Amino acid sequence: MSAANDLTVEGKAQVAHAEDVNQLQQHYTTDHVDIVEEKINAVHAGQRVQLKSSLDKMSLSQSLSTFWRSILVCGFAGFAAVTDGYQNQMAASIIANKGFIKEFAKGASALDPPWVSSFGGIFSAGQVIGQFTIPFVSDFIGRKGAMYVFMVILTVSVIVESVANVWYVWTIAKLIGGIGIGAVQATLPVYINEHAPSQIRGFLIVAYSLWFSLGGLLASIALNVRSKSNPLDYKSLIYTQFGMIGLSILIFVFLPESPWWLASKGKFDKARAVLEKKFSGIPDYDIDGELAIIAATIEKQREWDREAAAEGTLAIFKGLNGKRFLIGSWPKVLQQFIGLSIFSSYSAYFFSLAGNKNPFNVTVILGCVSLLSVILDATLVDKIGRRRMTLIGFSGAAAGMLLISIVGCFDYANAKLGAVLVFGGVTANFFNTFQSSTSYAYLSEMPEQRFRAKATGWGLAYCNLYAIMFNFTVPLMLKKWVVKTAFLFIGLGIPGTILAFFIMPESMGRSPAEIHEMFVDRVPLRKWKGYKTHVEDDLDARLEI
């Protein structure tokens, strides 16, 4: 932008701000709904309006102390991911339990590989169904309504698990459980994104993955302890899931609805009430002004979509919105390409086939490593950014899978190479998990607000189409090729990581309006970091007056 244009932008911003001040001084008793409508009308008239909060200028440490109530809301919402992670790991690893094998194999020494593949494949298919359908629920009755729906589904799945004693009933339970967990994964990151301040949005989305990893670790510990104390008991492990579900439902009762969803539905009174509960008492926090920013941002995006003819249900896949959808979902897809199914769905099965005498010990190690990885992710995601986290994570995961592939060419059953195999698995799992929460950030940050629920859910569903394929095929490949199966994921993961270098932007600290602007203005994806947006120029001009 030239210097003359800069002055023009600044001058227009100053005039717009002066007009806003005059109007507010003349109508200082104006109802907040009138203020919102005023901003929306200004958007329709083509006037420049404020689309970024002045509080976005706070440092990371300041925002942590200032927005503590938002942190609590996001943290408690993320706690439900313990249920998600616990049930996910329990379903994946209980198939290696001796009691489970005795019950379902009906006298055989091991489960048939086709059954194992059907369990994982049907579970992933259920996730796709849940991720595809829950956004309609979330957009229609709200984020909280969607939470109650998926908790009912998870409860039903555990009930069916509890009575299952043949493989096809267990498969039905996996389908229902997959639907519930898919709905959780498609709802909570969106909810957290819409409550989190921009400075710590990545950190709070990481909290979701942190709870998920903790839930998986708890399941691994429970499986390991029970395998030693009573190796034939698996029913009590299933029953423990009821406790997780009950605690999550209790938490959801006290959580507020998303102000972004309320504003998108024109429920400005309720949206303001949520903002007031979270932010009252914070110096310089203008509740009506912040509500107007949310409403104006939503309307600005809608206006652009009308001009670009990007409307309707399938608009999410068209033109620029389609590009945003593919970019947002690529890290999750790449997780599958780099071997997630081995260390998420079939870790115990993989290491048992590889000759490890106690595969549950390895799953506990992997669970601890995942938890450590997410904690490290939480400390770095709002410091070094989403793009770097993604590239570091997938490069490290590819290195771990390459090590596994090399070991697979030798006699890995001996103690030394067996230890190297476990190290390769730990490395691949650590780095794959290292960027997992960042992938949720991309899913919920890249789309427009009105497409956020659908883009997050459908992006996860798109990813899980690959998961379905791998969950059906990986057990069969493991049975035939064992460790050499890792070569497949090397062939997919390395090219995918190279592509990520060119298409993944840096969205750390950006408001929804800024992200929208950079997409519309076709800013090169690798150059988002440090780019000065018009939204930011406008805010700077307003703060200088």
Give tens-digit pLDDT for 115-144: 777 777 788 889 899 999 999 999 999 999
- Angle at alpha carbon of residue 390, lines to 469 and 178, rounded to 5°: 35
* 20 band by pLDDT with thresholds 50, 70 and 90: very low
- pLDDT above 50 for 2: no
In this structure, what DSSP letter does residue 52 have?
Answer: S
Q: What pLDDT was estimated at residue 394?
A: 94
Do residues 349 and 223 touch, judged by C-beta distance below 8 A?
no
Tell me which amino acid residue 356 is.
Answer: N
Q: What pLDDT was estimated at residue 361?
A: 76
Task: Collect all residues with Cβ–Cβ distance below 8 Å to 187 and sequence separation of at least 6.
Answer: 134, 138, 143, 146, 147, 150, 453, 457
* 345 band by pLDDT with thresholds 50, 70 and 90: low
Kindly report, residue by residue over 313-322, the tens digit of the pLDDT: 778 888 889 9
Tell me which amino acid residue 385 is.
Answer: G
Domains and CATH numbers, the chain: 65-255 (1.20.1250.20), 315-508 (1.20.1250.20)
Q: Which two tokens stand for residue 476?
A: 């069969």
Mean pLDDT of 303-309: 76
Tell me which amino acid residue 285 is.
Answer: Y
Question: φ, ψ for residue 378 (rounded to 5)?
Answer: -65, -35
Q: Which two tokens stand for residue 527?
A: 């150059």
Mean pLDDT of 387-406: 93
- The total number of residues written for the chain in this structure: 545
Q: What pLDDT was estimated at residue 349?
A: 67
In this structure, what DSSP letter does residue 427 have?
Answer: H
* 346 band by pLDDT with thresholds 50, 70 and 90: low
Mean pLDDT of 507-521: 91
Mean pLDDT of 358-383: 80
Return the top range by mean pLDDT from 54-63, 187-196, 209-218: 187-196
| Chain centroid to CA 179 | 16
Q: What is the 3-state secondary structure (H, E, C) of 111-143?
A: CCHHHHHHHHHHHHHHHHHHHHHHHHHHHHHCH
Do residues 67 and 56 touch, judged by C-beta distance below 8 A?
no
More confidently predicted of 14 and 162: 162
Q: What pLDDT was estimated at residue 464?
A: 82
Do residues 454 and 187 touch, judged by C-beta distance below 8 A?
no
How far is 36 from 429, CA to CA, in rounded Å?
47
In this structure, what DSSP letter does residue 380 have?
Answer: H
Residue 17: exposure state from Cβ atoms within 10 A (0-12, 13-18, ≥19): buried
Task: Supply the pTM of this predicted model.
Answer: 0.78
Beta strands in 36-174 (DSSP E): none
- pLDDT above 90 for 257: yes
Mean pLDDT of 51-62: 81
- Angle at alpha carbon of residue 139, lines to 133 and 142, rounded to 5°: 110
How far is 388 from 450, CA to CA, in rounded Å?
28
* 48 band by pLDDT with thresholds 50, 70 and 90: confident
Q: 């590009």: which residue's tokens?
A: 323
Q: What pLDDT was estimated at residue 114?
A: 75
How far is 165 from 170, CA to CA, in rounded Å?
7
* 360 band by pLDDT with thresholds 50, 70 and 90: low
Q: Which two tokens stand for residue 168?
A: 């096809």
Q: What pLDDT was estimated at residue 348?
A: 67
Q: What pLDDT was estimated at residue 1?
A: 44
More confidently predicted of 308 and 257: 257
Kindly report, residue by residue over 440-470, the tens digit of the pLDDT: 889 989 998 888 899 999 998 998 888 888 8
- pLDDT above 80 for 415: no
* 354 band by pLDDT with thresholds 50, 70 and 90: low
Mean pLDDT of 341-358: 70
* 59 band by pLDDT with thresholds 50, 70 and 90: confident
- pLDDT above 80 for 181: yes
Residue 176: exposure state from Cβ atoms within 10 A (0-12, 13-18, ≥19): buried
Task: Name the percent of the chain lying above pLDDT 70.
Answer: 91
- pLDDT above 60 for 221: yes
Mean pLDDT of 336-360: 74
Q: What is the mean pLDDT of the chain?
A: 83
- pLDDT above 70 for 226: yes
Least confident of 15-24, 42-51, 404-413: 15-24
Least confident of 16-25, 227-236, 309-318, 359-368: 16-25
Residue 155: exposure state from Cβ atoms within 10 A (0-12, 13-18, ≥19): middle
How far is 54 from 56, CA to CA, in rounded Å?
5
Task: Collect all residues with Cβ–Cβ distance below 8 Å to 116 and sequence separation of at least 6.
Answer: 95, 346, 349, 475
At 481, is the secondary structure helix, strand, or coil?
A: helix
Q: What pLDDT was estimated at residue 4?
A: 45
Task: Name the percent of the chain lying above pLDDT 90.
Answer: 31
Kindly report, residue by residue over 66-118, the tens digit of the pLDDT: 889 998 999 889 887 888 888 888 877 787 788 888 888 777 777 777 777 77
